[in-house]
Amino acid sequence: MLIIKRIFRSGWQIFSRDKEVSLAIVFILFLTICLVSSLFLFINLTNFIITSTQEKIDISVYFKQETDEDDILGIGKEISKFPEVKEVEYVSPDQALVEFIERHEKDPTLIESVEEIGRNPFLASLSIRAWELSQYGAVSSFLETADFGDLIEKIDFYERKSVIDKISSLSSSVTKIGVFVSVALIITAVLIAFNTIRLSIYNSSQEIKIQRLVGASNWSIKGPFLVQGAISGVVATSICFLLFALLSWSLNSNLESFLYGFNLFSVFRNNFWVLLFLQLLTGVSLGTLSSSIAIKRYLKV
């Protein structure tokens, strides 16, 4: 315990003594933690947008005009039992007409063309939402081969397939880009922090040589610099976390109107401990890892 206390005390002395270098280390770690946190929030934003878009995607099954409404509702209940299906909604011809008029109220030409027909041209349909975009193909295949297939007039899956494929591709691309950017950030941060901390250790090279001459162990030499890196990481994390809390609260109302209803403060609040742990892990591990790498050249092999 005495050795551990000495190591922590020496680490704090190194951190507080070399104020300029310690400030530089904290600043580098602060920028790195902010980048990692921004990436975390960006992934949440992207997932929110993709999920919101997915919820608006569905396929519609249109039934022949003579099909009885009870039969359609029965088919809807049968379809809803499938594990791939999230929701099935019945849309009557009258409801479809009302939605069409509301959607095209600024285009009187289309509304007049419907009125000229003299009857409701819309068919009853079932709007089907799957849990995943990749499941719409299986749902469509089932509908095409089902026993009630002779009652179906049209399935619009293939008309929407290109949109579904694009959204699926976007989701996959975002995941790959996120992993690539994360790795690139970590490598860049380690290199920058390593060189900054190496400067701090170089300033103490004479003390390290004296410790070596009097027979100090590797851990007695290495420990204080690891503590210095950890303290720098904690300080940088504290500043970054408070800054993100302040910005997410103050900018939330303005951002929400521009980001598809994305509530930044809710994301921060719901991921409070996750974000804090991520920032602390990034700051402390990066500070100690860089110190450990930088001090190696001064230790006995």
Report in angstroms the alpha-carbon separations of 294 from 13, 200, 220, 229, 288: 19, 9, 15, 11, 10
Using the 3D structure, point to which of 125, 160, 195 is the last residue of a domain: 160
Q: Which residue has the higher pLDDT, 185 or 62?
A: 62
Query: Could you tell me if 171 and 265 lie in one domain?
Result: yes
Domain count, the chain: 2
**Listed ranges 29-33, 193-197, 239-243; the one with the highest mean pLDDT:** 239-243
Q: Does residue 92 share a domain with residue 156?
A: yes
Write the CA distances from 57 to 4, 18, 67, 119, 134, integer angstroms.
59, 58, 25, 29, 12
Percent of the chain with pLDDT over 70: 92
Domain stops at, among 123, 142, 160: 160
Instruction: State whether 7 and 112 are in the same domain.
Output: no
pLDDT tens digits, one per residue of 111-162: 777 777 777 888 899 999 888 878 888 888 888 888 888 888 888 876 667 7
- The CATH number given to whatever domain includes residue 72 is 3.30.70.3040
32 and 121 in a common domain: no
Q: Which domain-ending residue is among 96, 128, 160?
A: 160
Instruction: Answer yes or no: do 242 and 129 share one domain.
Output: no
Number of H helices, E strands in the chain: 12, 4
Q: Amino acid letter at 94?
A: D
Residues 139 and 206 occupy one common structural domain: no
Taking only the tens place, the pLDDT of each residue in 14-54 is 788 778 878 888 888 888 888 888 878 877 877 787 777 77
Domain interval for residue 262: 2-53+167-298
